[in-house]
């Protein structure tokens, strides 16, 4: 009888070797899959800050998608890339909280190129607007029309994220108060939008029309109040009302369109013709028109104190200190909004 014990041992060893190889291959493949998964994860989601992008990077990202929502891009603008110290700190609060958003700080030169190349029909008016604040006012409507996203003035501080309110929204505006007779109650200092929303074309064509009709005296007179009328919150308000009246086929006031006065609370969220309006406390908190907390909340005052201001007005999502960096004699004051210890 032939002894098969040696053959069985060889067979057993071969079987174990094959099984071991299979296990090793499976482990390696799983490891590769895990590595690939980690590699493909959007790095911005793992970041502790927003992602600062160049215009080229912004364009590549923006044009790689079809948008039916508010894009996750924050726009801010300043004369150059060097912000004043308080501006930089307030701006950083948005980046610290909106960690999966993109961010671009537009300079005056970038704005000029943007308008000239993307909106040649508006550029002749844009190029003539003076003082500079009129161009800064108008270009933000063009950010909203072209890219959408979120525009924020540099004197806004984020308290906590608000973008959960953007779901299924087309345009989101933020009220100062419900005193609509002044036409300053819907500021252009904080706006969110989907790209290509028609509201912005109403506002831009109003600017073209009014500037073309203005006399040299009206264009060159003292600027205070001119900015609000030609390109600022009054321009936004009138363009908004033209749009709402057209869409709603009505001539009702914004008060009437909002409906029951009892709905108009400090923390209300109101909808008219697919435009969302955030109540004053949600996103502005400090109301410069009614002066509540002005001594500590106005960045223009020597008594300005951010902590005391927030204790007074108790902002929910964000607060603006209405610094008026352009105009009021501040644009050439290099110490304005500088280090707190030096400016107090």
* pLDDT confidence tier of residue 121, bands split at 50, 70 and 90: very high
Domain check: are 101 and 142 in the same one? Answer: yes
Residue 339 has pLDDT above 70, yes or no: no
pTM of the entire predicted model: 0.83
As a whole number of angstroms, the distance between CA 170 and CA 308 comes to 35
Domain check: are 100 and 158 in the same one? Answer: yes
As a whole number of angstroms, the distance between CA 241 and CA 233 comes to 12
Looking at residue 106, what is its pLDDT? Answer: 98
Copy the structure tokens of residue 213.
């009709």
How far is residue 3 from each of residues 8, 13, 95, measured CA to CA in Å? 10, 17, 78
40-44, 114-118, 217-221, 326-330: lowest mean pLDDT where? 40-44
Number of domains present in the structure of the chain? 2
As a whole number of angstroms, the distance between CA 205 and CA 202 comes to 5
Percent of the chain surpassing pLDDT 90: 66
Q: Which residues contact 324 (CB under 8 A, 6 or more apart)?
A: 299, 300, 330
Residue 178 has pLDDT above 50, yes or no: yes
Looking at residue 326, what is its pLDDT? Answer: 62
The more confident residue out of 109 and 3 is: 109
* pLDDT confidence tier of residue 288, bands split at 50, 70 and 90: confident
Q: To the nearest whole number, what is the mean pLDDT of the chain?
A: 84
How far is residue 6 from each of residues 14, 195, 205, 227, measured CA to CA in Å? 12, 77, 94, 98
Q: Do the Cβ atoms of 42 and 101 come closer than 8 Å?
A: no
Most confident of 25-34, 63-72, 316-325: 63-72
C-alpha closest to that of 197 among 149, 255, 254: 149
Domain check: are 128 and 22 in the same one? Answer: no
Q: Domain containing 10: what range?
A: 1-41
* pLDDT confidence tier of residue 289, bands split at 50, 70 and 90: confident
Percent of the chain surpassing pLDDT 70: 79
Domain check: are 24 and 54 in the same one? Answer: no
Looking at residue 37, what is its pLDDT? Answer: 29
Domain check: are 91 and 162 in the same one? Answer: yes
Domain check: are 54 and 6 in the same one? Answer: no
Residue 161 has pLDDT above 60, yes or no: yes
Looking at residue 6, what is its pLDDT? Answer: 52
Residues 236-272: tens digit of each pLDDT: 999 999 999 999 999 999 999 998 888 899 999 999 9
26-35, 49-58, 91-100, 203-212: lowest mean pLDDT where? 26-35
Domain check: are 56 and 37 in the same one? Answer: no
Domain check: are 8 and 101 in the same one? Answer: no
Query: Token pair 């700190």 is at which residue?
Result: 89
Q: Is the peptide bond before 175 cis (omega within 30 degrees of 0)?
A: no
45-54, 188-197, 242-251, 287-296: lowest mean pLDDT where? 45-54
Residue 200 has pLDDT above 50, yes or no: yes
Domain check: are 37 and 55 in the same one? Answer: no
Residues 7-54: tens digit of each pLDDT: 555 445 455 444 554 444 443 344 343 233 222 323 444 467 899 999
Domain check: are 121 and 254 in the same one? Answer: yes
Copy the structure tokens of residue 156.
């806004």
Domain check: are 200 and 292 in the same one? Answer: yes
Looking at residue 43, what is its pLDDT? Answer: 41
Domain check: are 104 and 9 in the same one? Answer: no
Q: Domain of 263: which CATH number?
A: 3.90.550
């Amino acid at each position: 009888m032939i002894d098969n014990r040696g053959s069985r041992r060889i067979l057993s060893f071969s079987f174990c070797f094959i099984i071991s190889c299979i296990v090793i291959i499976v482990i390696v493949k799983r490891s590769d899959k895990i590595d690939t998964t980690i590699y493909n994860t959007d790095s911005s989601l793992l970041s502790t800050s927003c992602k600062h992008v160049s215009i080229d990077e912004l364009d590549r990202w923006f044009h790689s998608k079809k948008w039916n929502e508010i894009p996750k891009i924050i726009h801010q603008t300043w004369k150059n890339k060097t912000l004043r110290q308080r501006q930089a700190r307030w701006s950083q609060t948005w980046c610290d909280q909106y960690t999966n958003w993109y961010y671009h700080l537009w300079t005056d030169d970038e704005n000029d190129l943007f308008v000239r190349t993307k909106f040649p029909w508006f550029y002749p008016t844009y190029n003539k607007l003076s003082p500079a604040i009129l161009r800064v006012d108008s270009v933000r409507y063009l950010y909203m029309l072209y890219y959408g996203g979120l525009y924020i003035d540099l004197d806004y501080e984020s308290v906590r994220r608000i973008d959960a309110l953007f779901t299924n929204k087309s345009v989101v505006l933020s009220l100062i108060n419900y005193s609509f007779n002044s036409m300053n109650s819907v500021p252009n200092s904080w706006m969110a939008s989907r790209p290509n929303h028609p509201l912005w074309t109403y506002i831009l064509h109003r600017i073209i029309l009014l500037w073309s009709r203005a006399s040299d005296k009206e264009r060159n007179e003292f600027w205070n109040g001119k900015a609000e009328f030609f390109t600022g919150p009054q321009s936004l308000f009138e363009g908004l009302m033209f749009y709402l009246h057209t869409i709603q086929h009505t001539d009702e006031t914004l008060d009437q369109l909002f409906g029951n006065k009892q709905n108009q609370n400090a923390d209300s969220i109101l909808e008219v013709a697919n435009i969302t309006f955030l109540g004053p406390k949600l996103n502005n908190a400090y109301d410069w028109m009614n002066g509540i907390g002005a001594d500590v909340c106005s960045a223009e005052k020597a008594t300005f104190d951010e902590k005391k201001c927030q204790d007074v007005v108790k902002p929910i999502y964000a607060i603006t200190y209405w610094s008026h960096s352009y105009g009021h004699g501040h644009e050439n004051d290099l110490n304005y909004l500088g280090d707190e210890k030096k400016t107090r």
